[in-house]
Structure 1
């Protein structure tokens, strides 16, 4: 299993908050002495060409990266999962983002230093060698939508839309488990798609022999918070339940990518699971965990399977803390469109999507702790229009990302 774990030796700077941040209700108070702030943030820092993100982050001049970094500096999570951050084998991207953006105070915000970083390969943009989109041919040369649709996960090149974990606490690297290579067909009762006209399997036998479940990857990253038992950060970024056809293959895959974690944290529920080292089974019973990431599924609205994320929200070992913001409510009212017909509470939304046409704003980003980790606070960084930090999120075209950072403060186990 190829992976990169980087140690950055630096101390966090302590400076006063600038007046704009001090006046912003979007900036949370620091967690308590015995609490850990976990967060997830789809930063939309993916780029259309391999190496482009590293080249951009090599200077301190990226306005988007500065805004993303400033959001992180205001919220100051202790453990942060970043989605949509292109993977490179040398780990240059995460280091450059730390050195040139997080370590530099943005618009007066205090710099933030993460001593520990973890990243690993993902399936996006990795050629499968088979026809996955049903057009009768297998495209294996990187570049273009035909190649992306035949890759294990949609991507123009290997590593696009990758993931990174930044942590104030040691990452138990030797005990990290990744599930990049787990085959979808090896999940019992998987929702493998069928052709609605014929009832026959959508994927060929050749495709099912190699097709992986994870569109990016699933990671179990143990974090040593200093109290004895590590907290297992269960990180992923399932495929959006759209951009497919009447077979709804992405709807089915999104459901099963989320189901993977529901089974993984259920005692004896994941006996079928194997990791990239060949070790079988799920999480050890009683282990504290946090499921985090852009899961691309709203429990009430959008195009996903109606039971996709409820597998986690209603799981007996999971607590839905329901992080919220007033900015989400304001955006839904201001933008109208599809938002007017939504059933879900807009204060829980975490993504600002097209309203016409499109699904509207949705709750798709989650930080879901186990019941053994009492929550002490939570929120979605989504400033209202009268907030001085609204400039960091804004409306389309977004100055940072179409997703919002979601955070939860948890009592250390």
Structure 2
């Protein structure tokens, strides 16, 4: 098990700092499975970045730890095998309840154990930090008449850390220069799309001033994780914006989703555009304009279909610093759209781009999950892990009540 030292083994001056520091584990870097165009560092090598909303969230605190404490949880096995088959070097796992112990349990009992003949996946480095989900706000944020419960948390969740996230990496994560933005207030974003109470003449007043004084932009968190690849650094920019649904005419979740996506667009633009940004340590500004990055996560937004605010993902896809020369696709998504019909028949986006298998009534299957490199990184290959029904690995896909997730893993191979 790879864990931080026990507090009594840590110098006293560091105890308080560790209490506020995201958990980081590590060891010697290890190479992953070789691919046709190479892997690792060098002129003919690439690095595979991935995102996967694995639905490893549970209904109660401690349940994920319990499920991962043995190697026989079928959903966790399927998630691990999916990661093993896709073989990313760096992967963000969304909807992984915040529990540092669970990070090691999933690695030890599942990722590092070959599933159904797949090669074990060795990730010496991992990063996890608290999430806003389930953290009580103390206010009636949904204006239901009572304060408390998931809808009134800083980010939706029935307990603190539900629907969190974790990053696993074969390359060192420079935790000393990592930045988190869990506490950045939504109101502090210039031009924030604050929801409006249509029953009053004042604009953007669905939330009171007191509520806006505690409501963060990020429904989970936003992390900038510097990944050290040889002598170079790539910033892994990860998040999981709130779904743009489960609200009313004020569209508070849709507006928040759009601004959570905008945050990364401003961050990578740098300069004055990002001057308003302040991280959890109080440091201002965005990414250096020479910095290279990969934006990843379940953004809960399709460019043309679904319920998100029009143009929400275009804030990234049209950003001059983002490389959109290749869009991950799969044959399985096209097949699923044809077989399931329903809302899929009226969609505008190419079904080959879909990454999530949602209800056929509404919104249908959409592109919700993204891996977006900077233009300083050349895209060599990309795909959505969505096998067709004739593929033996199709058993790894499926929404509830099937045993994995309603999202698909998305990966991109890049080379500097």
Query: Is the shorter-chain TM-score for this pair beyond 0.5, marking a shared fold?
Result: yes
Q: 361, 375, 381: which one pairs with 1:377?
A: 381
* Kept in 2: contact 1:148–1:154 (CA 8 A): yes
Distance in 2 separating the partners of 1:12 and 1:109: 16
2-structure distance, mates of 1:207, 1:11: 46
Give the TM-score of the pair, scaled to structure 2. Answer: 0.91
Who is 2:9 aligned against? none
Work out which structure has the larger RCO, using CA pairs closer than 8 Å and 6 or more positions apart in sequence.
1
Picking from 146, 150, 153, the partner of 1:151 is: 153
**Residue aligning to 1:183:** 185
Are the equivalent residues in 1 in contact too, given 2:399–2:405 (CA < 8 A)? no
Correspondence for 2:235: 232
Among candidates 233, 240, 263, match of residue 260 of structure 1: 263
1:74 aligns with 2:78: no
Q: In structure 2, how many angstroms separate the alpha carbons of the residues matched to 1:208 and 1:126?
A: 15
Structure 1 residue 93 corresponds to structure 2 residue 98: no
The aligned residue for residue 50 of structure 1 is: 61
Contact 2:26-2:172 at 8 Å conserved across structures: no
Deviation at 1:7, TM superposition (A): 1.4
Partner of 1:350: 355
Structure-2 separation of matches of 1:73 and 1:292: 19
Q: Secondary structure, in 3 states, of the residue corresponding to 2:166?
A: strand
C-alpha deviations, 1:328-371, integer Å up to 9, x for none?
00000000000000000000000000012x20000010000000
List gaps (5 residues or longer) in structure 2.
1-19
Partner of 2:342: 337
- Report 1:7-406 matches (<5 A): 7-8=26-27, 31-32=38-39, 33-88=44-99, 91-139=100-148, 147-200=149-202, 201-226=205-230, 228-268=231-271, 269-320=273-324, 321-356=326-361, 358-394=362-398, 396-406=400-410
How many residues are paired up?
A: 389
Q: Please tell me the root mean square deviation across aligned C-alpha atoms, in Å.
A: 1.6
Structure 1 position 205, deviation (Å): 1.1
How far apart are residue 14 of structure 1 and its match? 7.2
Q: TM-score, normalised by structure 1?
A: 0.91
> Aligned partners of 2:339 and 2:181: how far apart in 1?
41
Contact kept, 8 Å, 1:13 with 1:111, in 2: the verdict is no
Q: Determine the C-alpha separation between the residues in 1 that align with 2:312 and 2:175.
A: 30
Q: Aligned partners of 1:331 and 1:97: how far apart in 2? A: 30
| Contact 2:32/2:87, CA 8 A, preserved across alignment | no
| Shift >4 Å, 4+ stretches | 8-15, 28-33
Question: What is the deviation of 1:258?
Answer: 0.3
| CA contact 1:31–1:37 (8 Å) conserved in 2 | no
Distance 1:12 1:318, change over 3 A: closer
User: Any gaps of 5 or more consecutive residues in structure 1?
Assistant: 16-27, 140-146
Q: 2: CA distance between counterparts of 1:10 and 1:359?
A: 42
